[in-house]
Amino acid sequence: MSTSVVGIDIGSVAIRAVELRDPDKAKPTLMRYAELPLPAGAVNRGEVIEANTVSSVLKQLWSTGGFSSKNVVLGMGNQRVLARDLTVPKMSQTRIRETLPYQVQEFLPVPVNEAILDFYPVSEETTDAGPMVHGLLIAAIKDAVLGNVRAVEKSGLTTTGVDLIPFALSRVLLRERHAAGTVAIIDIGASATTVVIATNGVPQFLRIIPAGGDDVTTALAQRLEIETAHAESLKRSVGLKTRVSDPKFQRPMEIINEVTSELLGSSRNTLDYFAQSRPESPVARILLTGGGAQLDGLPDALAELTRTPVAPVDPFAGLTISKTLQIEELRQNQSAILVALGLALGSAA
């Protein structure tokens, strides 16, 4: 009997959902994809602010998208989520989780009882103190997670899991040939940029940078004193470049370069930090995704700044595509689909 699950990506500007049939099979089937815009302010950096508004949009999304399942997996990945390297004595995963509250308070910006804690094992090592497990401590602010869950369930859906967005990205992109070696995924969203670095498909490091494509739009709107919609259109038409033929685009070009350079610099610094801490695993290539990554000229600028090739991605490799979907249309929207698709794939874990 086939089963299906829906991954939901609640962004700052839109909600996106992907339905997969048989996500636990070797070749799941992508059944449906849909997205709807959100009113400004309903969601702030991945955290639901107006639950009634989000619930209403979700109901409309289910109606227009024709989703057959109400079982959903949510993603979390804003600045209310913290990830740190952590080494603990080897024991069962259950026991490790039970001991986390007693050893991680120093890493947390809030009391332990206000956070949801988890541990992602990466590798094992035998030391003088005995066998140890190296991994990632994942901590999320409880109110932020539960607020999103309540908004979703208010629309009549059932949350079967909450997953970390960086893991969802690595799950959907680091399959087959893309998994070999050390790879950095840089996902530039509207309000945050996610960097996850994996070796042979296993995430080793992640960081969430509190900057995204909307920062460029906001800077253009404020400094040029224009409407946000005009600023967004201007950003897309000018792109990231060093010269323009029309003098009226000179100032917008300078603003775009300034704000984007800060984001690219943060991404490069993140890769440099990883290289210094793990010199044995140099990043061989970058997989660049996200709506903010669509800025013309940005991939070349990132490759030049980091001296690392930026490789194309194919999130649909290894999937069966339903006959009701058009692969050309999916590829046009693949950056928007990635997170929701990875969340649905993770439901089988």
The pLDDT of residue 178: 67
The pLDDT of residue 1: 40
**CA count, 13 A, side-chain hemisphere, 250:** 4
Kindly state the DSSP code that residue 135 receives in the 8-state scheme. Answer: E
Token pair, residue 276, equals: 């210094």
Contacts of 128 (CB under 8 A, 6+ apart): none
The pLDDT of residue 176: 65
The pLDDT of residue 2: 54
**pLDDT tens digits for range 251-263:** 999 999 999 999 9
The pLDDT of residue 300: 94
What strands, in cross-sheet order, belong to the sheet with 29-37? 158-164, 71-76, 4-10, 14-21, 29-37, 320-321
**CA count, 13 A, side-chain hemisphere, 119:** 24
The rounded distance, in Å, linking the Cα atoms of 98 and 265 is 38
Rounded to 5 degrees, φ, ψ at 210 are: -80, 60
The rounded distance, in Å, linking the Cα atoms of 183 and 264 is 17
The pLDDT of residue 278: 87
The pLDDT of residue 210: 86
Would you say domain 81-141 falls under CATH 3.30.1490.300?
yes
The pLDDT of residue 183: 94
Name the class of domain 178-314. Answer: alpha beta
The alpha-carbon radius of gyration of the chain (Å, integer) is 20
The pLDDT of residue 218: 95
**SS3 category, 270:** helix
The pLDDT of residue 109: 80
Kindly state the DSSP code that residue 108 receives in the 8-state scheme. Answer: -
**pLDDT tens digits for range 164-223:** 888 898 888 887 666 788 999 999 988 889 899 999 888 888 888 888 999 999 999 999
Q: Which residues of the chain have pLDDT under 50?
A: 1
Work out whether strand 81-89 and strand 130-141 pair parallel, antiparallel, or are unpaired. antiparallel
- Break the chain into its structural domains and give their ranges: 81-141, 178-314
DSSP codes, 170-234 = HHHHSSGGGGSSEEEEEEE-SS-EEEEEEETTEEEEEEEES--HHHHHHHHHHHHT--HHHHHHH
pTM of the model: 0.85
